[in-house]
Amino acid sequence: MTRARSLDVFRGLTVAGMVIVNNPGDWNTVYWPLLHAEWDGWTPTDLIFPFFLFIVGVAIGLGSRRSTVATILKRGAIIWGLGLFMAAYPFFRLDTVRITGVLARIAWCYVPVALLARAVDAHPQRRRIARTTAVFLLALYWVLLAVGGDLSPTGNIGAAVDRTVFGRHLWRQGDWDPEGLLSTVPAIATTLFGLIAGWFFKETSSPRVLVRGLLLWGLVGILIGLLTSVWLPINKNLWTPPYVLFTAGVAAALLAVCYWLCDVWESAFVRTITEPLVALGRNAILLFVVSGLVAKTLIYLKWPDAERSLGSWIYSTAFAPVAPPYFASLLYAIANLLALYVLLAWLHHRRRYLTV
| pLDDT tens figures, 339-348 | 999 999 999 9
Per-residue model confidence (pLDDT) at position 1: 39
- How far lies 261's CA from each of 6, 211, 269, 337, in Å? 8, 11, 10, 24
| pLDDT tens figures, 265-291 | 878 999 999 999 999 999 999 999 999
Report the alpha-carbon distance of residue 60 to residue 70 in Å, rounded.
15
Per-residue model confidence (pLDDT) at position 68: 94
0.85 exceeded by pTM: yes
Q: Which parts of the chain have pLDDT scores under 50?
A: 1-2
Per-residue model confidence (pLDDT) at position 141: 98
Per-residue model confidence (pLDDT) at position 262: 92
| pLDDT tens figures, 184-199 | 999 999 999 999 999 9
